[in-house]
Chain A
């Protein structure tokens, strides 16, 4: 029991991110409205971004922007600064998520233009009767 509590205190951020991911994944699979599926996909991607960013934290450390000084060879203590690499990776992932959202909205608009509805079952019915 005590190691469960230790695990909870040490890793609750990862657990929360996993719960958020599953909410998003459920929306993509189970919802019938196209925009709701899109929002679910966005929640899924955003929670993965939170997961990565939380990897980079260190206790008692500050943001990785060094003080600007003329002397380029002053030693930097790496434990004072949080890990910059997940932030860099997630800048890319945020841009990818926004781009996918944009293309998905364009496709949803095109579907709406043709079928005049955004509910998946009505669209399938119209396609089957063609």
Chain B
């Protein structure tokens, strides 16, 4: 360097050349030093990550949080570690911290499907519906590391449930329609979607989905029962009978299917509004419906506590009054009185539903008939 002090040698290119040389040497040394440290850090990060997973597996999320934090300290850019830390925090009941980590992850990658999904759940839990909806959509349209279609569907289904919990059937139905357009040929999934259609009141769409599920697997019991229930809701008891009979045939021990079948059979036997039945049959069915409701109320009135009995008493009084006109000849002469008796039966069964315990299939049938009539009137 002393030579450099001499004017004839001090020239910028020479000095720059020397500085470049020193830079290269210094950089090479620093590189090998930092490489050695990087390897150690990476190894430590993995080591602590494994420990964290082990703790999580052993049901110790608080310990796992510490381990994942340490793993993240050694590999701060590893979003996988951060995601595990956030998940562990959530499991350890530290939702707010978890939320901060998820938000941090979201900021670095707003299209991350799992992060959006967790954020949506947390915001839904916190009651921030706007944010929850935004993140659910982020999860539906986001990137997923594995099985993206299934994960997006799961997010979509959860968004539908989120809408349903809020009573927002309109948005739920729209989301269901988007979802059902892209469903794979999976009877289980179609049945689940059909169930959700049932929850939003889109019974025809529900029925269509059950039918598609049954096309894929004609012996899939939940789809048969669901199709039966949806058929009832749309008023097609004959179709319901077909579906539910098949369900019972496939699984005779299925109590709910058997019960449903009994109700359907009762409805088919009792419904005075069924098209094509003679007038005399209509009268007979009306009398039976009136009789079923009245007897239920009578037996209930004798066994219920005083508070319930006081609300049943006026109905029993009314029943006694109506008994005078509840006969074939009168109803044949006064067909408009059929409606009076059916109205009474429906009201009585509704009251009994609140006070008199589980209904028999005949009682359920009376309620179903009354419901169907209300729907038709509307």
**Same complex origin of A and B:** no
Binding site for B on A (CB under 8 A): none
Binding site for A on B (CB under 8 A): none
